[in-house]
A and B are shown apart, each in its own frame.
Chain A
Amino acid sequence: MEQEMVLKNENSLSSSLKQMLLKLTPSIKKDGIIKSLKNTGITLLSILMFIGLWQMGSKALYNKEADYRIEKALTERGEEAAAAERACIESGDSSCQPNTLPSPSQVWASLQSLIADHNLIGAKKNAFAKKMAATNEKMIAEGKDPIVYTGRASFVDIVLTSIKTVFAGFLLAMFIAVPIGIIIGLSPSLRSAFNWFIQIFKPVSPVVWYLLVFMIVKTLYIGDSSDNAFVISFISVGLCAMWATLVNTAMGVASVDKDYINVAKVLKLGTFQKVFKVILPSSLPLIFTGLRITLSVAWMVLIAIELLAQSQGLGLFVWEEFQNGANDSNSKIIVAMFVIGIIGFLLDRLMLAVQNMVSFNKNEMA
């Protein structure tokens, strides 16, 4: 019975041979389902355990902080004040809540409040656009810039800014690192000429890259009142993250299979043809491995750089919430942490998919 159901579900493997194999080896298929169920179960269980540990940890920290406050009130202002403090904490009044690691439920509540806030701002934006529609039309007709909404950015806007920055940085890194990588991969003498440069600049910290870019961009934008935070942050991100692509591209180009080079020689391909038809396709897998590392590094350094550059992204959001010190600031920081982690994971999956799509030796990919 179960076996039949399995077969029905395997529509994609419709060839009769595969069906026959399935019939012959039902236990393997069944094992496969049990195994995947088991894996999902283990994942769910570990998530529950993680939340449980987090809950316990935050509870312990909460109690410690609460005890300290009551103790302090007792020693400094006497028993009456201590009792009042205890009553205040237990009542859940926001004015005297201990400020520590937030519990999972607090983080969840913060996430919902951030979404509600986003909807609210969205509604405001729409109202603003409606109100200004007529005026803006007139202004555009007169050749003036239309008036845009300049209110506070919502959490979703902030996340989008960060993604935009990381992609701009990633593209910059790609456009710098891939051509240079190819050129130095092709020529051993250029490779040794560039080697010291790569070795010295590769380990430089994101903060220093930011300062360097700041020095240059600030002067370039002199007399221009427009906001250059985005420009500074994406250039810094690109410069930080490009090294993996540069090194991998150079290595990929330098280590093309001798057989392919011989083919190119025997066919008497021109230099251009040789590079674009033989060397580049054969080094694509390594180039994409480099690009994948570059994207993950870019996302990682982005937070620090946005913080420094005051660019309206997740990095600045986290820093401002920390400085803000409101009751729900800590839980908002944790929300941002999860959002950063999940987006980083999704970006990596995206790159892996692209990498598998372009590379010819699919079986050798991790």
Chain B
Amino acid sequence: MAYLELNNIYKTYGEGENSTEVLSNINLTMEEGEFVAIVGFTGSGKTTLVNLINGLLQPTSGEVLFKGVPVTDTSHERGVIFQNYSLLPWLTVGQNIYMAVKEAFPKESKKVLMERVKEYVGMVNLSPAINKRPKELSGGMRQRVAVARALAMNPEMIIMDEPLGALDALTRGNLQDEILNIWSQDKRTALLITNDVDEGIYMADRIIPLKPGPNATLGPEFKINIERPRDKTAMNDNPEYKKTRNAIIEYLMDIGDERKTVSDVEYKLPELTPKSFVA
């Protein structure tokens, strides 16, 4: 039995004639402890896919099985890191995480929970900012808080929806390392949604491209056979890396071209000739 299973998932928004099928025929299996990346263009339905897996949305048809049980609601077993941080602006960093921890461990005493908050804030190197509000933090720091919040709940699986999409390249690199570091400590199952192929190759065990929507579906998977821990600079010269990267990009370029020609509608102009009033 696979850890996470998506069987023939279809997701349609709207009803009747106005309905659009965002996802069609999505099939995916993930094993425990695996790190899978799904790479896709913007607007291809990546966030919809994430929300189906974390339980915020229900598929129109098909089923999402988590440890063999259908997903009908959100669960503390699956932690989510949102694309736009989604921190509550009126709470401090510590309070944001405390709120999550308190829900995840309702029976623990306040002291134990506070210790946990401090531990995870320290893990993402934000201890000096624990009493600051999200407004006072940079984008990278905010996303770190979101990472800490998701991990502090001790989920079995962690779902990341373009977590680094809004960050600059340098911060992005640092945070990739930080997330990998934390992940390698207890090898939780992780699903990363991204639009950056390099990020996928650097972080994941498997990369699956998402063909752009409407009717988005998953493409063939690419295994990344590069040993961990991976070194970013050394990786650039790794023939395996070059091969996989080229293959994925080629595939994505091809479906990108395909999408362009498909969307090109030919307009037929009516045949008009000027009418003569002189007769």
Binding site for B on A (CB under 8 A): 259-260, 262-263, 265-269, 273, 277-278, 281-282, 284, 360-361
Q: What separation, in Å, do the CA atoms of A265 and B103 have in the docked complex?
A: 11
The residue on A at minimum CB distance from B87 is A263
Give a binary string over B69-96; 1 marks a CB under 8 Å from any A CB, 0 the rest.
Answer: 0000011100110101010111100000
Query: Chain B's interface: helix, strand, loop or mixed, by majority?
Result: loop
What 17 additional pairs, Cβ within 8 angstroms, besides A265-B74, A361-B89? A259-B86, A260-B86, A262-B82, A263-B82, A266-B54, A266-B74, A267-B99, A267-B100, A267-B153, A268-B75, A281-B88, A281-B90, A284-B90, A360-B89, A360-B133, A360-B135, A361-B135
Per the bound structure, the CA–CA distance linking A262 and B99 in Å amounts to 14
A263 touches B89 (CB 8 A): no
Residues of A within 8 Å of B103, CB to CB, are 267-269, 273
Tell me, yes or no, whether B166 is within 8 Å of chain A by CB.
no
CB proximity of B151 to chain A, nearest CB, Å: 13
Residue of B nearest to A358 (CB): B90
Within B175-214, the residues touching A (CB, 8 Å) are none
Residue B235 CB within 8 A of the other chain:
no
Cβ of B253 within 8 Å of any chain A Cβ, yes or no, is no
The range of chain B's interface size is 20 to 34
State which of A262, A269, A273, A361 has its C-beta within 8 Å of the C-beta of B86. Answer: A262
CA distance A168 to B54 in the complex (A): 49
Q: For the complex, is B167 an interface residue (Cβ under 8 Å from A)?
A: no
Question: Closest B-chain residue to A361, C-beta based?
Answer: B89
The contact of A282 among B80, B82, B90, B99, by CB within 8 Å, is B90
Bound form: Cα–Cα A166–B100 in Å: 42
B residues whose Cβ falls under 8 Å from a Cβ of A: 54, 56, 74-76, 79-80, 82, 84, 86, 88-91, 99-100, 103-104, 133, 135, 153
Cβ-defined contact, A259 with B84, below 8 A = yes
Cα A263 to Cα B79 in complex, Å, equals 11
Nearest CB in chain B to that of A257: its residue: B86
| Set of chain A residues within 8 Å of B80, measured between Cβ atoms | 266
Please determine whether B88 and A260 come into contact, CB atoms closer than 8 angstroms: yes
Q: Helix, strand, loop or mixed for chain A's interface?
A: helix
Complex A-B, nearest 6 residue pairs according to Cβ-Cβ distance, in ascending order = A360-B90, A259-B86, A281-B90, A263-B86, A267-B103, A266-B80
| Residue numbers in A under 8 Å from B90 (CB-CB) | 281-282, 284, 360
Q: Given A260, A262, A269, which contacts B56 in the complex, CB threshold below 8 Å?
A: A262
Q: A262-B56, A277-B99 are in contact. Are A268 and B76 (CB under 8 A)?
A: yes
User: Please, which residue of chain A has its CB at the minimum distance from the CB of B85?
Assistant: A259
Closest CB in chain B relative to A46 CB, distance in Å: 38
Residues of B within 8 A of A361 (CB): 89, 135
**What A residues does B76 contact at CB under 8 A?**
268
Task: State the CA gap A284–B90 with chains docked (Å).
Answer: 10
Min distance, Cβ B132 to any Cβ of chain A, angstroms: 13
15 contacts between A and B (CB under 8 A): A259-B86, A260-B88, A263-B86, A263-B88, A265-B74, A266-B80, A267-B103, A268-B75, A268-B76, A268-B103, A277-B99, A282-B88, A282-B90, A360-B133, A361-B135
Residues in A whose Cβ lies below 8 Å from that of B86: 259-260, 262-263
* A residues near B56, Cβ cutoff 8 Å: 262, 265-266
Task: Report which residue of B74, B76, B90 has the largest number of chain A beta carbons within 10 angstroms of its beta carbon.
Answer: B90
Separation of A260 and B91 alpha carbons in the complex (Å) = 12
Residues in A neighbouring B82, C-beta threshold 8 A: 259, 262-263
Closest chain A CB from B145 CB (angstroms): 12
Q: Cβ of B79: which chain A residues have Cβ within 8 Å of it?
A: 266
Min distance, Cβ B99 to any Cβ of chain A, angstroms? 6
When chains A and B are docked, how far (Å) is the Cα of A47 from the Cα of B103? 60
* Cα separation A360 to B96 with both chains bound (whole Å): 14
Interface centre among A268, A269, A281, A284 (most CB of B within 10 A): A268
CB distance from B263 to the nearest CB of A (A): 29
A12 to B84, CA, bound (A): 35
Nearest chain A CB to B64 CB, angstrom units? 15
Complex Cα distance, B90 from A360, in Å, reads 5
Bound-state CA distance A269–B74 (Å) is 11
Q: How far is the CB of A273 from chain B (nearest CB, A)?
A: 8
Bound CA–CA A281/B86 (angstroms): 15
**Cβ of B89 and Cβ of A278 under 8 Å apart?**
no
Instruction: Return B142 CB to nearest CB of chain A, in Å.
Output: 12
Chain A hits for B100, CB < 8 A: 267
In the assembled complex, which residues on chain A have CB atoms less than 8 Å from the CB atom of B133? 360
- Chain B min CB distance to A150 (Å): 50
A282 to B54, CA, bound (A): 24
Q: Which residues of B contact A267 (CB under 8 A)?
A: 99-100, 103-104, 153
Q: Contact: A268 with B74, CB < 8 Å?
A: yes
Question: A274 → chain B, closest Cβ, in Å?
Answer: 11
Q: How far is the CA of A277 from the CA of B91 in the complex (A)?
A: 9
Find chain A residues with CB under 8 A from B74 CB: 265-266, 268
* A262 to B79 Cα, complex, angstroms: 12
| Residues of chain A with a CB closer than 8 A to B91's CB | 281
Closest B residue by C-beta to A360: B90
- A278 partner residues in chain B, CB cutoff 8 A: 88
How far apart sit A236 and B202, CA to CA, in the bound complex (Å)? Answer: 68
